[in-house]
Amino acid sequence: MSKNMALPTLKTVGVIGTGVIGASWTALFLARGLKVIVTDPAPGADGKLRDYLLKHWLTIPNAKVTQDQYLNNFKFVKDIDTHLGDIDFIQENGPERLDFKRHLFAHLDANTPEHVVIASSSSGLPSSEFITECTKNTARILIGHPFNPPHLVPLVEVVPHRGTGDTYATATLEFYRSLGKDPVLVKKETPGFIANRLQAAVCAEAYSLISRGVVSAEELDKTVTSGLGLRWALTGPIMTNTLGGGGYFNHFMNHLGPALKTWLDDMHQHEFDIDSRDADVLEDKVKDWISRVNLKEIEERRDELLVGLIRSKTERSA
């Protein structure tokens, strides 16, 4: 199959499931000028989706359509089966339950033209585990795991299973890029993919430091938001270390490698055990802080700053 055959005319996206992730994907697809056919069995899902779209219109960067088009280019359907022939790409956002996904993917695979990519937003289950009952074309099935909310945060982890065709993976990466997203190709199925593993590494050490009384929960977070995170929003760990080594990653490794080892050894010795009493100590310490703050304000401020940060990064690179 040639590269161009995978997504011949990508005009209509099918969205399965309109929870937080599915609704946000829908907003993004619509703002980029695509038509969306969307379904969700939950009562009142249609109305909730409309509310979500209206609420988030202004925060979507670089919309390519008018608000009117954005709000009218989708069709909410009770049964998507009769529409599967009109859809060029499927983004699935169902519950993270293996039995559910196995059944759903067998059904989608059987009823969707075989060239259409079916991407799952699954944050945990690898697609190799839920394609087991598919009979038509598992080569077009893969993970397209967004970072919440997808209409705003550019990252999508694209994770093919062993049998996913390169053509489909490439087409998926191109499709996401065409929406202004920054897809990352995860070349081997790995528990937690990339982002959740890096996040787990930070959280495990953060939990240990807080539960051991080395630093308060509030000040642990400040170490990130006033230091590490500012840098990581702009350069990742590899580039940060390369710049730190005067342009040479190996200079950095030679210089800081021994210290890194000492730190990691100490971290191993004080590893956080989620099943021990440490978890209670941690929760109490976190509660001490959280009970004193206004979460709604913090969340609003975060979202507002996030929009600004993404906008200035996009403008600066253009």
Rounded distance between C-alpha atoms, residue 307 and residue 59, angstroms: 7
Select 5 or 201, whichever has its Cβ closest to a copy of itself. 201
**Distance in Å, CB of 112 to a copy of itself, minimum:** 29
Torsion-angle region of residue 247: left (phi > 0), alpha (psi -120 to 50) or beta?
Answer: left
DSSP single-letter state for residue 226: I
Catalytic-role residue among 92, 114, 133, 157: 157
**Distance in Å, CB of 161 to a copy of itself, minimum:** 14
DSSP single-letter state for residue 211: H
Instruction: Give CA separation, 119 vs 108, 179, 190, in Å.
Output: 11, 15, 17
Select 5 or 264, whichever has its Cβ closest to a copy of itself. 264
Select 111 or 242, whichever has its Cβ closest to a copy of itself. 242
Instruction: Give CA separation, 282 vs 218, 244, 258, 278, in Å.
Output: 12, 33, 30, 6
Select 42 or 234, whichever has its Cβ closest to a copy of itself. 234
Select 71 or 256, whichever has its Cβ closest to a copy of itself. 256
Q: Catalytic: 157?
A: yes
**Distance in Å, CB of 306 to a copy of itself, minimum:** 6
Alpha helix ranges (H) inside the chain:
20-31, 45-56, 67-72, 98-111, 127-130, 166-178, 195-211, 217-223, 229-232, 237-244, 249-269, 278-290, 295-317
| DSSP 3-state percent helix, strand, coil across the chain (nearest 5) | 55, 10, 35
Q: Is 261 exposed, middle or buried (0-12, 13-18, 19+ CB in 10 A)?
A: exposed
Answer for the pair 160, 171: CB distance below 8 angstroms, yes or no: no
**Distance in Å, CB of 298 to a copy of itself, minimum:** 7
Amino acid 284 reads: D
**Distance in Å, CB of 180 to a copy of itself, minimum:** 11
Answer for the pair 163, 138: CB distance below 8 angstroms, yes or no: yes
CA angle centred on 299, ends 298 and 304, rounded to 5°: 100
* Interaxial angle between packed helices 249-269 and 237-244, expressed in degrees from 0 to 180 and rounded to the nearest 10: 120
**Distance in Å, CB of 218 to a copy of itself, minimum:** 8
Select 1 or 293, whichever has its Cβ closest to a copy of itself. 293
Helix (H, G, I), strand (E, B) or coil at 305: helix
Catalytic positions: 157
